[in-house]
Chain A
Amino acid sequence: MPPTPVQTPVSSPPTVRRPRPLVQLGALIWKDLQTERRTREIVLTTAVFAALALLIFVFAFDLRVENRRAVAPGMLWVTVTFATLLALGRTYASEKDQGTLEYLLTTPVDRSLLYLARLLATLVFLLVADVLTLGLAGLFFDLPLLTPGLLATVFLGTLGFASVGTLFAAMAANTRAREVLLPVLLLPVSVPVVIASVQATAADLGGAAGDHPWLGLLLAFDGLFLGLSALLFEHVLED
């Protein structure tokens, strides 16, 4: 208890000076990035998993030249979907194991900032893994995958998964059977992301796709669920 001057009015607490939200956000993201740099739990495992998934697809499908453009969008997004689920499942694992979430909750940080920080950090990990996956898939199947259009699709699709996924992962981490429950929760809700991403990718690769504004749909999904999850996150983190 620091000694307070006698003349200080009761209304102003002398020692608490909250950093600005952006500073808090930066610190929180930095914490997650540091943890990842030291443990290498998420990016590396996710990227290796994605590479192995692509390898399985090579055996599972007939990937001759004339088939590739038709199969590639689906293959790519099944890989990204499952890799994302895997990574999201890990995001709360270390906090759960070491009980650090409770300490984080005692800090005077807005809950939606905690959500945003976790979302942005996860997004960084996922996008690194995505770009590696795209590069590798492009190499494996001899397709031009690292194009601006496709990168935009991958960004918006991954953001869609991560926005709801960050919310659901925090819930699934506190249940029995957490590894199984996260996909069961996340997959049906993110069906629009899967459909729109596959269609946008197909359109980008010059395949058959309806001329609907798929990226607009992705944007709408991302916007809605980013805001909604930020609002709802405090109810998940209550205990």
Chain B
Amino acid sequence: MAQTLSRPTASARAPGGGLALFTTLAGAAGAVTMTLALYGIFVLAPTERTQGVVQRVFYIHVPLAWTAYLAFGVVFVGSLLYLLRRRRRWDVLARSSAEVGVVLTTLVIVSGSLWGKAVWGTWWTWDARLTSTLVLWFIYVAYLMLRAYVGDPDRAARYSAVLGIVGFLDIPIIHMSVIWWRTLHPEPVVLRSEGPALPPEMLWVLLMSLVAMTCLYLSLLGLKLGIETLREDLRARRSPPAGQ
């Protein structure tokens, strides 16, 4: 304990200047945009007529969902690049993003559940988008479990890359199947062919919140990348240099 406290900067320095700078910048940008977004959500945005104040969850919930998809997209890209190039850093990227993505998806489900209780009168319902988000969450929880249960690190990297690719390409099919199965969720209000159905002030707050959440994701990803890089480093130092 005393030893770790005596050298507090070791972990911040180790992963290399570029990553530390990236994390700091993303964190700073996140702090600024998050403050602006919160101001927008609670002060600027008009109160929705039918749902009332609780509709403001929307500005948190929807950007979180988009960011979660971004995180899993990064897992997909990292997995693909790892299988093609076999550089450890792509695996580090994929697994770090997967962990942050699971956290974001959990927040999506929790915030949606709170909103649903207020608006639909129930914590959970088997609506299409809730169901597909839950399935998504399970896929990436399985990803993290797979990593935990494979002993050999190279094998863990390959296996989870396979799952990272299969899982991501499965998302549209899952989406399609549960939409056909049933739907109760509001139709998309922003990304639709006729143009956004939101009043402009609501849209601006939403976009600001989206930027804030993306910064949050990037800074969390940067922190996680730092930790995982250190972990790789530690493993390399522990095992004899000759390899297996």
A interface residues with partner B (beta carbon < 8 Å): 164, 167-168, 171, 174-177, 181, 184-185, 187-189, 191-192, 195-196, 199, 210, 212, 214, 217, 220-221, 224-225, 228-229, 232, 235-236, 238-239
Contacts and interface: CB of A to CB of B under 8 A. Distances in A.
Contacts of A239: 152, 154-155
Contact of A235 (B150, B151, B161, B169): B161
Interface residues of B, number: 30
17 contacts: A171-B146, A171-B159, A171-B163, A174-B155, A181-B149, A187-B138, A188-B135, A188-B142, A188-B167, A191-B135, A191-B174, A192-B170, A192-B177, A195-B180, A217-B177, A217-B180, A232-B162
A89 to B, nearest CB: 14
A185 B163 contact: yes
Interface in B158-200: 158-159, 161-163, 165-167, 169-170, 173-174, 176-178, 180-181
**Most A Cβ at <10 Å: residue of B135, B152, B158:** B158
B150 A185 contact: no
Given A171-B162, A228-B166, A239-B155, A191 B177 contact: yes
A210 B146 CA distance: 36
B138 A188 contact: yes
Nearest to B82: A235
A174 B177 contact: no
Contact of B166 (A181, A192, A225): A225
A173 to B, nearest CB: 11
Contacts, number: 89
B188 to A, nearest CB: 20
Contacts of B135: 188, 191
B145 interface: yes
Nearest to B170: A189
Nearest to A177: B149
Contacts of B152: 239
A199 B178 CA distance: 11
Contact of A188 (B139, B161, B162, B173): B139
Nearest to A237: B158
Contacts of B138: 187-188
A225 B178 CA distance: 18
B149 to A, nearest CB: 4
